[in-house]
Amino acid sequence: MSEIKKVVLAYSGGLDTSVIVRWLQDTYNCEVVTFTADIGQGEEVEPARSKAQALGVKEIYIEDLREEFVRDYVFPMFRANTIYEGEYLLGTSIARPLIAKRLIEIANETGADAISHGATGKGNDQVRFELGAYALKPGVKVIAPWREWDLTSREKLMQYCEERNIPVDFAGKKKKSPYSMDANLLHISYEGGILEDPWAEAEEEMWRWSVSPEAAPDEPTYLVLTYSKGDIVAIDGEQMSPATVLETLNRIGGANGVGRLDIVENRFVGMKSRGCYETPGGTIMMKAHRAIESLTLDREVAHLKDSLMPRYAEMIYNGFWWSEERKMMQQMIDFSQRHVNGEVRVKLYKGSVSAVGRRSDDSLFDESIATFEDDAGSYNQKDAEGFIKLNALRMRIAASKGRNLLDD
């Protein structure tokens, strides 16, 4: 007799998770609660209700989490200018802690004994979901079917559907993309198919959110982004919610060919993986945020942030959003954003994003000091002589002791 009486499943309504519903019912003889999150994946989530009902599910959660996703996860991450391995803007990674949080909250609300997810045993998502779950509910039982069952191919999943009368009209018999895709308001990712050959170029028809740079308009598009404490609050003077900001930047950026990426990344589980990503809004946000920080952040604060960012990016990529160290670092990052206010003008042209203007009432840029013209005594250039000699002192001493670097 299974000790598991009720399980909360992260449910998309697709083939894999539909099979998981029935597999949980059969294997654990338990009640299944489904949770479907709308985080801007671009597909209707409400059909998941009828699909779950057809599988005998009584408690069904379908929630619009788009604003929470951008406000509490995407925006905080972008305050840190977060990039993994120099390129990846962490679109999939940053969605997982929110889903993990809601799985645990629903488990507590419904009295469930366990949570479950459809992540495979090869990827990072299993780690992200489960690290988050354990951080928020240490004793929770996690069921990962892909690590337990023998349904190792699409054909076996379809056979399982036929044997157990799972309706195949929603279980995935329609034409399937050759790619494994994940989408939310920040990005859409592509893996598998021809992308498993790192030498093969991605097909043009694969991309869904952006035109190719070659097909983008011949005239540039300009936007003015308004910042408050490190977050965009308006575009071209129009106040917008966090989710609307990202939706708008995705639309405009995609129309200008912005945000395509093709990389080979190092997964936390140890393997390398080739993936393609479309992140038009995030690409614009990254460029603009660095531009407003360049005007408003103290030099040492900016450099300290940059030195911490790779560690912060690894925390998110590897699934440690709900860790003490990430929370501590977030407090430092957020403190640095107190004066990151003002406007940035960006230029979008055939796949490129350029910051072409920035202004702020909190600017640390002093034209009277930085000017190449007469500064009226604002800066005493003679001060540089002692400054340089003091910084050269240790090198001068070493050289006087015979340490000739030209001989090494």
Total domains, the chain = 2
Whether residue 208 lies in the annotated active site: no
Residue among 263, 254, 262, 308 at smallest CA distance from 281: 254
Phi, psi dihedral angles at 362 (to 5 degrees): -100, 20
For residue 106, being part of any structural domain is answered with: yes
Using CA atoms, how far apart are residues 276 and 273, in angstroms rounded to an integer? 10
For residue 379, being part of any structural domain is answered with: no
For residue 324, being part of any structural domain is answered with: no
Using CA atoms, how far apart are residues 251 and 280, in angstroms rounded to an integer? 8
Active-site position among 38, 113, 125, 231: 125
Using CA atoms, how far apart are residues 22 and 322, in angstroms rounded to an integer? 31
Whether residues 107 and 204 fall in one domain:
no
For residue 129, being part of any structural domain is answered with: yes
Whether residues 158 and 209 fall in one domain:
no
Within the chain, which residues score under 50 in pLDDT? 1, 171-173
For residue 211, being part of any structural domain is answered with: yes
Tell the burial category of 143 from Cβ atoms under 10 Å away from its Cβ (0-12, 13-18, 19+). buried
Active-site position among 49, 71, 72, 180: 180
Using CA atoms, how far apart are residues 250 and 323, in angstroms rounded to an integer? 30
Whether residues 97 and 30 fall in one domain:
yes
Whether residue 66 lies in the annotated active site: no
Whether residues 141 and 283 fall in one domain:
no
Active-site position among 96, 102, 128, 274: 96
Whether residues 25 and 143 fall in one domain:
yes
Q: Coil, helix or strand for 231?
A: strand
Whether residues 276 and 137 fall in one domain:
no
**Which residues form the domain of 212?**
181-297+339-359
Whether residues 113 and 246 fall in one domain:
no
74-129 tens-digit pLDDT? 999 999 999 999 999 999 999 999 999 999 999 999 999 999 999 988 889 999 99
For residue 282, being part of any structural domain is answered with: yes
Whether residues 97 and 126 fall in one domain:
yes
Distances from the Cα of 378 to the Cα of 166, 371, 383, 384, 386, angstroms: 77, 10, 12, 14, 18
For residue 19, being part of any structural domain is answered with: yes
**Which of these three, 160, 176, 192, is where a domain ends?**
176
Whether residues 16 and 122 fall in one domain:
yes
Whether residue 290 lies in the annotated active site: no
**Which of these three, 156, 176, 196, is where a domain ends?**
176
Whether residues 27 and 149 fall in one domain:
yes
Residue among 73, 55, 65, 129 at smallest CA distance from 282: 73
**Which of these three, 176, 193, 215, is where a domain ends?**
176
346-403 tens-digit pLDDT? 999 999 999 999 999 999 998 877 777 777 777 788 888 999 999 999 999 999 998 8
What is the domain-level CATH number for residue 22? 3.40.50.620
What is the domain-level CATH number for residue 234? 3.90.1260.10
Residue among 287, 259, 279 at smallest CA distance from 344: 287
Whether residue 38 lies in the annotated active site: no
| Confidence (pLDDT) at 1 | 47
Whether residues 44 and 163 fall in one domain:
yes
Whether residues 15 and 119 fall in one domain:
yes
For residue 128, being part of any structural domain is answered with: yes
